[in-house]
Chain A
Amino acid sequence: MNTKTSKLRHVSTGVGLLIGSTMFAFALLLLLEHIMVLKEVKMVSVPLVAKLAELERREDALREQVELSQIQAATKVGSLGEKLDINILPKETDFDRLIAAWDLYSDWLRNQGLVSEMSDITFGDPVILEEEGVTVRPMRVSYSAHEDGIKKLLIFTQLAGLLTVSDALTDEEIQILFESTEKENPVGIVALEQFLSSDLLRYSRDVRSYEEQLKRSFNSTEFANLLESVSEGSLLGGAYRIFGGEFGKTMSDGNLWPIQFMTLREVSMEEGGVEGWYRVGLEMLVWER
C-alpha cells in the first residue's frame, strides 16, 4: 500500500512539474511578445501617429485645392496650347518674327552700352531629333559685348520659349509655393493658379500688381517674403529685369511675344580689346514641332 502511494506521489509530482514547466515556458514566450509589441509601438506607431496628423491635414487641403483648381483649369489649357503650337513650337520657324525679336533685344542692349557690335544672324540646316520627334535649326550670332551684356544675352536665350510665370520657375520653386498655400490658406490655390498661369511678359511689365494680387490671398508676411525670394532667386528676376522696361513694351506692341523655343548649343567668349569687353559667339537651336 505504501509503495503504491509513493509511486502515485512520484507520478503526480512529475506531471505537476511537466505542466508547470510548460506553462512557465509559454508565459515567458508571452512576456517576450509583450516586450516586442511595446518596442514596435515605440519604434513604429508613435512616429506614424505624429506623421498621420500632418498627412491628414495635407490630404484635406489638397482635396480642396484640386477641386478648386479643376474648375479654373478647364478654360486655361486651350488658350495656352494654342500659343504653344503657333509661337513656341511652331511647325515652321517664323524667321521675320524671330530675327525681329533678336534685333530689338540687341538694340536695347546697345542703347544700354552693353553691346557694341552684332554680326549677321545665320541659320543652319534643320536637324531632325528622332527621339523627341522634333526638328531643331541652328542659329548663330556674335557680338562684341560687355560681361554684363553677355549675362543678359544668355538670360534671353533661357527666356526664349517660356510662356507663363510657372514656366520660369523650377518644379522645386513651384512646390515651395504650393506647400506654403497648403499651410496658410488652401483656398489661396486659386490665386496662386492665376498667378502661375499669368503671361510672363505681362507679369514682367507689371510685377507689383501681379504679386500684390496674390499676396492679398495670404495675410502673413511669411508668404510675402517667400514669394519675393522665389521671384528674385529664379528666372522670374531675369524676366522682369529684361522685359520690365521699354523693351517689354516694344515686344508686346510688335506682337513678338512669346519667343520661339530655343536652347543654347555653344557659347564662346574671347577677350576683347578693352577690359570687361569680350567677343562672344552664340549658337542656339531653334525648335520646331
Chain B
Amino acid sequence: MNTKTDLKTQMAIPSVGSIIRRVALPFLLFSTVFFGLLLLSYYLLLPRLTQVEVAGKQHNTAQLQSYVTDLQAEVNKLEDARSDFVTPLRDGLYGAIKKDKFSTKGFNDLQEQIIDTAEKVIEEKEEAIHFASFEYFPTKQIFHLSGDVSNVGPRSMTLLAQFVDLLKGMEEVESVDLPRFTREHSEEKGYYSPFDFTLHIQ
C-alpha cells in the first residue's frame, strides 16, 4: 500500500528539470514567433500607421516636427516681409521713437486709476480725498500727487494709509515713496491729513 502511494506521489510531482526540458522548445518557438511578428510590425506595420504624408512625402514624428518648425520660420519671415512692405516706416529711428512714445503710460489713464483707487477708500464719504495737484514725468516714470484727506474726523490718517496701500497694489505702480503720515486740525477743515508723495511707475 505504501509503495503504491509513493509511486503516485512521484508521478504527480514532476521534477523541475523535467518541466524545464518540456517547456524549453515551446518557449523557444513562442519567443521566436513573438519576436518575428513584432519585428515585422515594427518595420512594416508601424510606419504605415504612424507616418504622415505631407507635400507628397512620408514624415515620421521627428521629420514632421522639423517640417513644422521650418514652416513656422517661413511664415514668420513672410509676416516680417509683409510688415516691411505695408508699413515701411515702422523700422529705423522713426519706428523706434514712435514705439517709445506708444509704450509710455498715459497721464490720463494713470490719473483716472488713482482717482478710482481713492474712491474705493472713501465709498461712504465722497469728498474725503481731495487732490490739489498731479505731476507726471513720463521719461522718468514718476507720478507725483498732493492733496489731503479730510471730512472724516480723526480717521483721516487711517484713510490715507489705506489709500497708499491700495496705490502700492496698482499694477502700474512699482513702488511708492511713503508720505509723511500726520493729522492736523483747522477751523475750516477740522481734522485732516495732508499728503505729498511720489509713485514710481513700472
Chain B residues within an 8 Å CB radius of A31: 38
Stretch at the interface among A12-20, A220-228, A249-257: A12-20
Chain A residues within an 8 Å CB radius of B64: 44-45, 48-49, 52
Inter-chain CA distance A164–B54, complex, in Å, is: 42
Please indicate which of the listed interface residues B46, B65, B101 has the most CB atoms of chain A within 10 Å of its own CB.
B101
Does A88 contact B136, Cβ atoms closer than 8 Å? no
Interface size class of B (residues with CB under 8 A): 35 or more
Q: Which residue of chain A lies nearest to B134 when distances are taken between CB atoms in the complex?
A: A269
CB distance from B22 to the nearest CB of A (A): 9
Inter-chain CA distance A12–B24, complex, in Å, is: 9
B interface: dominant SS = helix
Q: Per-position contact with B for A26-52: 1 when CB-CB < 8 Å, else 0? A: 110011011001101100110011011
Q: Does A100 contact B (CB under 8 A)?
A: no
Q: Does B75 contact A (CB under 8 A)?
A: yes
Q: Does A263 contact B (CB under 8 A)?
A: yes
Partner of A20, one of B24, B78, B82, B138: B24
Q: Does A93 contact B (CB under 8 A)?
A: no
Does B27 contact A16, Cβ atoms closer than 8 Å? yes
Stretch at the interface among B6-14, B29-37, B117-125, B159-167: B29-37
Q: Which residue of chain B lies nearest to A89 when distances are taken between CB atoms in the complex?
A: B94
* 5 pairs, CB–CB < 8 Å, chain A vs chain B: A59-B78, A62-B78, A80-B88, A263-B138, A268-B134
Does A66 contact B107, Cβ atoms closer than 8 Å? no
Chain A residues within an 8 Å CB radius of B79: 62, 178
Inter-chain CA distance A154–B111, complex, in Å, is: 13
Q: Does B15 contact A (CB under 8 A)?
A: no
The 6 lowest CB-CB distance pairs between A and B, nearest first, are: A23-B31, A20-B28, A62-B78, A69-B85, A73-B85, A30-B38
A17-B24, A196-B86, A266-B135 in contact; A23/B52 too (CB < 8 A)? no
Partner-B contacts on A (CB < 8 A): 9, 12-13, 16-17, 19-24, 26-27, 30-31, 33-34, 37-38, 40-41, 44-45, 48-49, 51-52, 55-56, 58-59, 62-63, 65-66, 69-70, 72-73, 76-77, 80-81, 84, 88-89, 132-134, 150-151, 154, 158, 161-164, 166-167, 170-171, 174, 178, 189, 192-193, 196-197, 261, 263-271, 287, 289
CB distance from A18 to the nearest CB of B (A): 9
A45-B61, A80-B89, A267-B135 in contact; A66/B38 too (CB < 8 A)? no
* Docked complex: B1-58 residues within 8 A CB-CB of A: 20-21, 24-25, 27-28, 30-32, 34-35, 38-39, 41-42, 46, 50, 52, 54
Does B25 contact A27, Cβ atoms closer than 8 Å? no
Does A287 contact B24, Cβ atoms closer than 8 Å? no
